[in-house]
Amino acid sequence: MSDGSGLSLRASRRMPLLIALLVAAAVALAAWPAPVRAAPQADAPTVVMADPASITFRVRVRTDADLASATLNYKVLSPDGNIGGSLRAEVSPGRSADLSAQLTTNGGDRYIPVGSRITYAWEIVDRNGAAVTTPEQTGVFLDGRYQWRSQTVGKVTTYGYGGDDIPANLALEATAAAIGDIEVLLGVQLSYPVRVVVWRSSADGKAAQQPRSATFDSQVVTGGSRVSADVLHIYDSLGAFVDVTRHEAGHLVTKVAGDGPFTKIPAWLDEGTAVYAQRAPGAGYVNGLQQAIRTDQTLRLRNLGAATNQPERVDLFYGQSWATVKFMIDTYGQSKFAAVFREVKAGSPIDEALLQVIGVDQDGLYNAWRASVGLKPIDFPPVPRFAPATAQATQPPLRIPTSVSAADAGGAAGGGAAAQPAEAADGGGSAVTGIAVALAALIVAGGLGAFGLRLARRR
């Protein structure tokens, strides 16, 4: 007769054996090689630039598991600092797909000029977590409506189209010559390569221009523009092709000479120097200036700190800016003229820079110039000077948002700016919530204490 103690004894003796077997099995499973997850394949990444309004990035993808995500990361390269973002392509379940992501380049709050250098790479992830990033590629964004040809001499590259290369050749020569002339004038060197995109008419280049007031555009024809630190647009229909190019090339050098992290040269100094870079100022600017001198309707210099948005004042603005620059060079000399740029670049406001170099502020310079053209000086009221500059956050160049949301390839800029108020509001809410919770805890504790005291008295 048995009471089962023998069975219990045998079971207890087998327990260490079972534990040993389980441990051995666990070790064997841990050592078993995991299945190899092949990285997704991304083939034939391409770029389509149909027009100046957008860039479409495409890639063909194959994976061992369903596709999870596909992200296009890009950067616009600039001497002012690279600006980039991300675009998410729409994906659906499947192990192969042709994907695309579109970047808006001229609309809303983003303007990426034709002629910009852009780098990009795709990041592909499947449902197993396997991922691949394609090699980074770099290209120049061009207006896909035309077949472009490029040529490079030194640090200048021009892009042209059409039946002959004469406009691009002229632009190449004019850009290089103007850069050299203004480098000597201002005592600086342009250290990076530049690109000049030449349309054969203003109408051809209209879609590549940044949108402006319809009224202004209807009355003023734009012959060219410095659209970034290293890109010029030339769309000349004014019959002054070479001077338009020299003018815009002058802006490349004035920026290097006078724009610092916190201070920039005023528009009258910038545009006046650019007109000075031309072979001649042009009849329109001269006539507008002479008419204002005859009627004593010239403009106070400190009111020309920004370019005018009044079409009727364009000729006077450029003419008087040029005349003021020429007066400074002729009166004070080239070395002092260049020194004003250096002072502004180093952080001095324009009035302080002028006082340090030539002994007068903007109003004093304006009156000296007025006297040189036969006009009486004006007694201006004192202007407060040299208030400490307030540091401001660096703004992205080219008006490109630093990131683009997955759902909106044309998303708005300024997402980073909105984050700080949101965080501040969040922090304030957390403090109020903490105080409310503490008060509630005190009330509850007080109520429980009173209730306990009453019970104790009853007992």
Q: Which of 238, 254, 270 is the last residue before a domain boundary?
A: 254
* Res 7 pLDDT > 80: no
User: Given CA atoms 110, 114, 117, 120 in this order, what sign does their dihedral have?
Assistant: positive
- Within 13 Å and on the Cβ side, how many CA atoms surround 183? 11
Distance between CA atoms of residues 139 and 45, nearest Å = 12
268, two tokens: 């009258």
In terms of pLDDT, which residue wins out, 130 or 163? 130
Name the percent of the chain lying above pLDDT 90.
63
23 pLDDT tier (thresholds 50, 70, 90):
low
13 pLDDT tier (thresholds 50, 70, 90):
low
* Res 129 pLDDT > 80: yes
**Could you tell me if residue 399 is inside a domain?**
no
**Could you tell me if residue 429 is inside a domain?**
no
314-332 and 283-294 are packed helices; what angle lies between their axes, rounded to 10 degrees?
Answer: 90
pLDDT, residue 271, reads: 97
Q: What CATH number should be reported for the domain holding residue 246?
A: 3.40.30.160
* Res 68 pLDDT > 90: yes
Do residue 270 and residue 369 come from a single domain? yes
**Could you tell me if residue 155 is inside a domain?**
yes
Whether 365 and 324 have beta carbons less than 8 Å apart is answered as yes
Structural domain including 81 reads: 41-140
**Could you tell me if residue 11 is inside a domain?**
no
Q: Which of 101, 112, 107 is nearest to 76 (CA)?
A: 112
Amino acid identity for residue 5 in this structure: S
Do residue 250 and residue 264 come from a single domain? no
Q: What CATH number should be reported for the domain holding residue 67?
A: 2.60.40.10
Do residue 249 and residue 286 come from a single domain? no
pLDDT, residue 240, reads: 79
Q: Which of 360, 387, 414 is the last residue before a domain boundary?
A: 387
pLDDT, residue 100, reads: 96
Q: Which of 108, 124, 140 is the last residue before a domain boundary?
A: 140
Q: List, for residues 25-47, the tens digit of each pLDDT value.
A: 565 555 555 555 688 999 889 99
Q: List, for residues 85-103, the tens digit of each pLDDT value.
A: 999 999 988 888 999 999 9
Do residue 187 and residue 132 come from a single domain? no
Do residue 109 and residue 157 come from a single domain? no
Q: List, for residues 327-381, the tens digit of each pLDDT value.
A: 999 999 999 999 999 999 999 999 999 999 999 999 999 999 999 999 999 999 9
Do residue 182 and residue 115 come from a single domain? no
Do residue 272 and residue 375 come from a single domain? yes
- 231, β-bridge pairs: 195, 228
Please state, as a whole number, how many other Cβ atoms lie within 10 Å of the Cβ of residue 435. 9
Q: What is the DSSP string of 99-142?
A: EEEEEE-EETTEE--TT-EEEEEEEEEETTS-EEEPPPEEEE--
415-to-180, 367, 423 alpha-carbon distances in Å = 41, 46, 13
**Could you tell me if residue 294 is inside a domain?**
yes
Do residue 48 and residue 153 come from a single domain? no
**Which residues, at least 6 apart from 417, have a Cβ–Cβ distance to it below 8 Å?**
393
Do residue 377 and residue 267 come from a single domain? yes
Mean pLDDT of 127-143: 95
Distance between CA atoms of residues 185 and 178, nearest Å = 10
**Could you tell me if residue 207 is inside a domain?**
yes
Do residue 130 and residue 204 come from a single domain? no
**Could you tell me if residue 433 is inside a domain?**
no
Distance between CA atoms of residues 273 and 164, nearest Å = 32
**Could you tell me if residue 319 is inside a domain?**
yes
* Res 72 pLDDT > 60: yes
Report which secondary-structure segment, H or E, holds 270: helix 267-276
Token pair 């999870």 is found at 68
> How many separate domains does the chain show?
3
Distance between CA atoms of residues 240 and 407, nearest Å = 46
Distance between CA atoms of residues 196 and 178, nearest Å = 13
* Res 214 pLDDT > 90: no
pLDDT, residue 236, reads: 74
Q: Which of 4, 112, 82 is nearest to 409 (CA)?
A: 112
Do residue 336 and residue 270 come from a single domain? yes
pLDDT, residue 430, reads: 42
Q: What CATH number should be reported for the domain holding residue 300?
A: 1.10.390
- 87, β-bridge pairs: 72
Do residue 85 and residue 111 come from a single domain? yes
Whether 155 and 232 have beta carbons less than 8 Å apart is answered as no
Report which secondary-structure segment, H or E, holds 67: strand 67-77
Please state, as a whole number, how many other Cβ atoms lie within 10 Å of the Cβ of residue 155. 15
- 57, β-bridge pairs: 47, 101
